[in-house]
Every structure is written in structure tokens, then in C-alpha cells.
Amino acid sequence: MISGLIDILIFASSFLLVLSFLVFFHELGHYSVGRFFGISVDRFSIGFGKPIAKWKAKSGTEWMIAQIPLGGYVKFTGDATGASNPDAQALAELKAKVEQEGGEGVENIFHFRPVWQRALVVLAGPVANFVLAILIFAGLAFAMGSYDRTSVISSVEQNSAAAEAGILPGDKILTMDGHDVSRFTALKSYVVLKSDTDIKTQVERNGEILELVVAPKRVEERDFVGGKASAGRLGVGLDSQSELIHIEYNPIEALGYGVGRLGSTLAMTGTYVGRIFQGKENGQQLGSVVKIATITGKSAVDAANADAPFVKRMQEMALRLIQLAAAISIGLGVANLMPIPVLDGGHLVYYAYEAVAGRPLSQEKQEFGFKIGFALLLTLFVALTINDIGYVSSIFS
């Protein structure tokens, strides 16, 4: 009984800790760039709803921790809500003040700033998430290095994609569609989103270079927390005695590694979304807060219950949560860049229109867009929650 309660506590607290940290960093991006331009901020909130704790800074910003810890917002002066949609009445009053007083006292209002400044403030949130991911990847690379194995095949499963392509034990896979996959991490990453797609593959066999065509088969496997996920698979194994490569990084190299990891993750995300529109993926790998909570919480619980000394378990838990934070941070940044009103990407679309047309979209059209955006988000949330339920149930199936 007590053990179960402890697991629940670890599950919930690890998820809330990771999510709150990522939301804080995202909103800090908006806040920091806004304050850099001298823009007035009314409120910085982690969570939604009624405040649990709040305090006021010398700048006049009210900092708040709210009851529902599933997001956060920065509310600039003149905003109607934390989504930065303008308060028409408040802005009309401020415009009247501009006419009467020559603009004094309103130069710090977000909605009166040049469009390029507003765009940078909005873009700063997702960029902050990407920067955080780079720093995490770079920090881990510098502290621990990275490990990989050469793509030398030791076994080939019968009736697998590799077998049908003519790959044999002892082959070293060099390139796929011209991409270097001589290390197994690169090989696996390239194949995972290429199911049922012909790949021109170059292999080395007994010193000779051969050209083969392999089409990875879609298979359903368990991920690292036990949930089912479908992906492209070759059906090959590596010899445990194959060359293990340990790569160490100096600070500059580690930073480059972090940037590379961000770039490869964004590329895989773009590939996956593209394949959804092409009808090659069903979108079931996408998830929302339930899936994030499940993966984060179960990773922490599994580490806490491992058969190892207490210190080792805590170290493993911290490492898992840090690595997940980097991946989720990228996802959070990408999600916020979707061109849906209410999200950062939607605001950027409005600002792009304003920059081209020389005038902002009318208040009525902006408000209509926000309503449509909210409806789209609600629909997307329902669809992703259905995915989440299927994923969570697969862990216990």
C-alpha cells in the first residue's frame, strides 16, 4: 500500500516538475525579450486558474503560481487574456490617451510596438524551448560523452526487410539514400520513418561495396516504458562484441552536438508530419499531456524501483527526466509554432499579414480567428487524447 502511494507520488511529481520547468522556460522567453524592449508585463503565471501563491516585482509584474499546473502564460499590458489577443476597449482608451498626451506613458504597450518587435517577443517562447534542448543535450554530451556502435550486422531475421533486400551477417551498412548510417544510431533513426519506402542502401561485404534496395517493414514494438509504437524496421541484429565507440566532447563540440540533436529531431518531426499528409502514417504516435505524463511518470517510477543502490536509482531517475525534458521541450516549441490563432504560430501569421499589408488584421477578424483557433485546439486535443488512451492501455495489455 505504502509502496503504491510512493509510486503515485513519484509519477505525479516528476511529470509536474518537468512540465512546469519547460513551461516556465517557454514563458521566460516571451517575458525576457518583452522586457528587453521595455514592454510592460502585467502577469507571469505558471499554471491556470486561481493563484496558490503570488507576489509583485518592482517592475510591476505580478508573478503567480496557479492551481492547474498544465501550462502558463505571460499577460502583457493591453492583452485581453494570457493568449496575447488584444483588449479592444483597453487599447481604445490607450489610443485616446495617445491623442491627448502625445503618446506619453503608452510606449511600453505590447500592441503599440513595431510588428518586428512583437514578432520577436512571440517567437522567443518556442526558441527558448529549442535553446533549452540544445543546452541539455550539450551538457550531457560534455559530462558523459556518447556511445554508439558501428553498423556491422551480426544477424538477419527471416522474412525481414533486410533478408528480402539481400543483407547478410557480416555486412557493414554504410549509407542510405546517400546519408551516412555507418553508426547504428543514425541507421535506426533513418529507418524508423521509412516503412514501406524503398531506400537505396550501400553496404560493404568482404571489402567490396554493394548497392542494394531495402524497404523497411512497419512493425509494432514496445518502447522504453512498455507502450506500443509502430515504426519502420530492418530486422537486423548487432553483435554485442561489435566495435563500441565512445565519443568525448569539449564544450564547443558538445554545443555542436546539441545543435545537431535539435536539428535531427526537428527533421524527424517534419518527416513524420509530412508522411501523415501523404497517408503513409496514421498519426497515432502523436500525443498530448496524458502521453507526456505517462512516459515521464513511468520512467521515474521504473528508475526508482530498479534493483540498484538508492543513490544509483536517484541518479538514473534524474538522468531520465533530464533527457525527457529535452525531447518534450522540442515538442513544446514545435507545437507552439503551429499556425493556429491562440498559439504563438497563429500570432506570427497575423504579424506576417500586418507586415505585408501595412496594417493589422481587423479586430473582428482577429477575434474570429481566435475562436476558430480555440475550436481547432479543442478538436486536436480530443484526437490526441484518444491516441493517448490507446497508448496507455497498450502498456497494460
Q: Per-residue pLDDT for 20 more than 70?
A: yes
Q: Is 62 exposed, middle or buried (0-12, 13-18, 19+ CB in 10 A)?
A: middle
pLDDT given for residue 139 in this prediction: 97
pLDDT digits (tens, 9 = 90+) for 203-228: 999 999 999 999 999 988 888 888 88
3-state secondary structure of 248: coil
Using CA atoms, how far residue 176 sits from 29, 79, 90, 170, 183, in Å, is 38, 50, 58, 17, 12
Average of per-residue pLDDT across 344-373: 90
Average of per-residue pLDDT across 276-291: 88
Contact present, 247 and 146 (Cβ < 8 Å): yes
Q: How far apart are CA 101 and CA 90, in angstroms?
A: 16
pLDDT digits (tens, 9 = 90+) for 102-144: 555 567 888 888 999 999 999 999 999 999 999 999 999 999 9
pLDDT given for residue 36 in this prediction: 94
What is the domain partition of the chain in residue ranges? Answer: 2-37+113-142+310-395, 146-247
The kind and range of the H/E element at 44 are strand 41-56
| Residue 208: active-site member | no
pLDDT digits (tens, 9 = 90+) for 44-79: 999 888 989 889 988 889 999 998 888 889 998 877
pTM of this structure: 0.89
Contact present, 215 and 378 (Cβ < 8 Å): no
The domain defined by 146-247 carries CATH number 1.10.540.10: no
Q: Is 364 exposed, middle or buried (0-12, 13-18, 19+ CB in 10 A)?
A: exposed
Please tell me which residue in 27, 62, 243, 281 is annotated as part of the active site.
Answer: 27
Q: How confident is the model at residue 91 (pLDDT cuts 50, 70, 90)?
A: low
